[in-house]
Amino acid sequence: MSFKLISGKEVSSEIYDELRTRIQTLKTKGIKPGLAVVLVGEDPASQSYVRMKGKKCEELGMYSVTTILPESTSEAELLEKVEELNKDPLIHGFLVQLPLPKHIDENKVIDAIDPKKDVDGFHPENVGHMLIGNPTFLPATPAGIQQMLIRSGIETAGKHVVVVGRSNIVGKPIAALLMQKGKGGDATVTVVHSKTKDLTEITRQADILIAAIGKPKFITRDMVKKGVVVIDVGTNKVEDPTTPNGSRSVGDVDFENVKDVASAITPVPGGVGPMTICMLMANTVKAAEQALQP
């Protein structure tokens, strides 16, 4: 069957156009949305992601600050930096790039971020608002997935969504978002994970399948039903001697085989990935708008 390719590049481009208008409005009021990113250590993937965030801020005409701290930075030093950003009037939103070195308690750092500047949407206060259906800042990747579905004309109301993976970053929050009342919600959601029995039996029931398990090509053709909508959140490096650097990115879904039975599917790369940075920018603009309110 023919399938629809859900392009994160196209959907994010549409959202960026809307954000540019809002940013211009803020600038007429003397506000330039400011985003800060703190990176501890030299993880190459994190460094690349941080660079992309800075570049996108520049493209949109936003203020951007990146702080790179050595791997040896203590928890107290990082918390001091967080407090500094909490008080900085030029910074409307910021995040501390995860994962952090093992000697630093991630939860303690997240808890220290001012919820009004928590554009990653990870602070317990913002997670609570999301769960009760009164969100302030939504986690970027789940929010991006929801926008992809809405803007691609894929109905979620009454559909059975199966989420593969239960992480705090994607699995749990996307399940919470899709079961909320309203546009982009009203779905019946099942979450499966490494301890789920008869996993394939459940994934084959999905009208919409969201794969966020971090295993290359884990979802195979026999695990989905005909006409399924597939959102592939995975980004996994696999060896490929035909490429200049000897590797390539693949998702959690066996794209080439699953696309033939899907009604719509996201590619990797170019699917969910671009939406994550896009929604981070949207959260930062929202934080700047809220900073204007008394």
pLDDT digits (tens, 9 = 90+) for 111-142: 999 999 999 999 999 999 999 999 999 999 99
pLDDT, tens digit (0-9, with 9 covering 90-100), for 61-116: 999 999 999 999 999 999 999 999 999 999 999 999 998 999 999 999 999 999 99
User: Catalytic site residues?
Assistant: 53, 97, 120
* pLDDT for res 136: 92
Q: Is the per-residue pLDDT at 269 higher than 70?
A: yes
Kindly state the tokens that stand for 172.
């749990």
**Second-level CATH architecture of 140-272:** 3-Layer(aba) Sandwich (3.40)
Q: How far apart are CA 115 and CA 70, in angstroms?
A: 26
Confirm if 8 and 272 have CB atoms less than 8 A apart.
yes
* pLDDT for res 239: 83
Average pLDDT over residues 20-28: 97
Closest of 249, 253, 269 to residue 261, by C-alpha: 253
* pLDDT for res 150: 98
* pLDDT for res 246: 82
User: Rounded mean pLDDT of the chain?
Assistant: 95
The string of DSSP codes covering 214-273 is --TT-B-GGGS-TT-EEEE---EEEE-TTSTTSEEEE-SB-HHHHTTT-SEE--SSSSHH
pLDDT, tens digit (0-9, with 9 covering 90-100), for 175-218: 999 999 999 999 999 999 999 999 999 999 999 999 999 999 99
* pLDDT for res 96: 96
- Locate the domains of the chain by residue range: 30-115, 140-272
Kindly state the tokens that stand for 141.
């990747």
Q: Is the per-residue pLDDT at 236 higher than 90?
A: no
Confidence class of residue 235 from pLDDT cuts 50, 70 and 90?
confident
Q: How far apart are CA 72 and CA 70, in angstroms?
A: 5
Q: Is the per-residue pLDDT at 231 higher than 80?
A: yes
Q: How far apart are CA 60 and CA 288, in angstroms?
A: 14
Q: Is the per-residue pLDDT at 163 higher than 90?
A: yes
b (16+ CB within 10 A) / e for 12-27: beebbeebeebbeebe
CATH code reported for the domain at 30-115: 3.40.50.10860
Q: Is the per-residue pLDDT at 143 higher than 90?
A: yes
* pLDDT for res 1: 57
Kindly state the tokens that stand for 143.
């929010």
Average pLDDT over residues 214-229: 96
pLDDT above 70 as % of the chain: 100
